[in-house]
Structure 1
Amino acid sequence: MASFDELKTTIRLNQLLGMWAAEKLGLTGADADNYAKACATDTIDPERNDMFGRVRADFDAAGVVQSDEQILDAMRRCKLEAGAMEPTTGGSGDAAAVMLARKLSPR
């Protein structure tokens, strides 16, 4: 089972990957934000947490030409960025995670 910090990093990773994929899909504004949030939210759903598979399928359906290697490279870059991201304010990481979960949860 992943630690809470690992889960937060994976959520950040998937949101960053979602923003990258949204750009490639031609999504902008709220559509791009919603796509990225859906990727982040899917982190906790075992049936939908395969981000490579999701991005690959979405690209194929939209006719976006990106190789598997390009997607994997984007995933590696997003993972590095997600791991480097730390809260800039003091306080509990738990509070930040609760705020993130609230922001990402569908209403």
Structure 2
Amino acid sequence: MTNFDDPVRMFVRNKLLGEWAADKLGLVGQEADEYSEALAQAVFAPERSDVLSKIRKDFDAAGVAQTDEQIMQVMTAFLIKAGKAMSGAQGDSLRGAEVMLARKLILR
């Protein structure tokens, strides 16, 4: 992987993780989208990059029963999923969309 792939892979992982967490929190529609997007963009903002602590805090506040170990297992599963999505063929449309999205976020 190139250096550029690591942030993209983490972006995808955090996006998937955010969708999972939003579901656990009972968020739907735009609220769920905004939550998962905020976690995804945390990759590019060091002060917001501790997604485990963010999810833990949000789960505690909402009374969602998930241990840190359970959350980390989901994080690992989504990291693997993101890596597999990126290891596809060069012309893979998902990969192209990820790269384009990451470039836009980096250039902000």
| Number of residue pairs aligned between Structure 1 and Structure 2 | 102
C-alpha RMSD of the superposition: 2.5
Instruction: Note if 1:90 corresponds to 2:101.
Output: no
**Structure 1: 5+ residue stretches without partners:** none
CA pair 80-60 structure 1, distance change in 2 beyond 3 A: same
The verdict on how the C-alpha distance between 1:61 and 1:95 changes in structure 2, with shifts beyond 3 A counting, is: closer
**How far apart are the structure 2 equivalents of 1:96 and 1:78?**
15
What CA distance in whole angstroms lies between the structure 1 residues aligned with 2:98 and 2:26?
30
Name whichever structure is richer in helix by fraction: 2
Shift of 1:76: 1.0
TM-score (norm 1): 0.81
Distance in 1 (alpha carbons) for counterparts of 2:43 and 2:61: 22
Q: Which runs of at least 4 in structure 1 moved beyond 4 Å after TM superposition? A: 93-96
Shift of 1:78: 0.7
Matching residue of 1:33: 33
Q: Which amino acid aligns with 1:65?
A: A
- Structure 2's unaligned 5+ residue stretches are none
Tell me what 1:99 maps to: 101
Aligned position for 1:43: 43
Structure 2 CA distance, aligned partners of 1:66 and 1:11?
22
Residue 61 of structure 1 aligns with an amino acid whose one-letter code is A
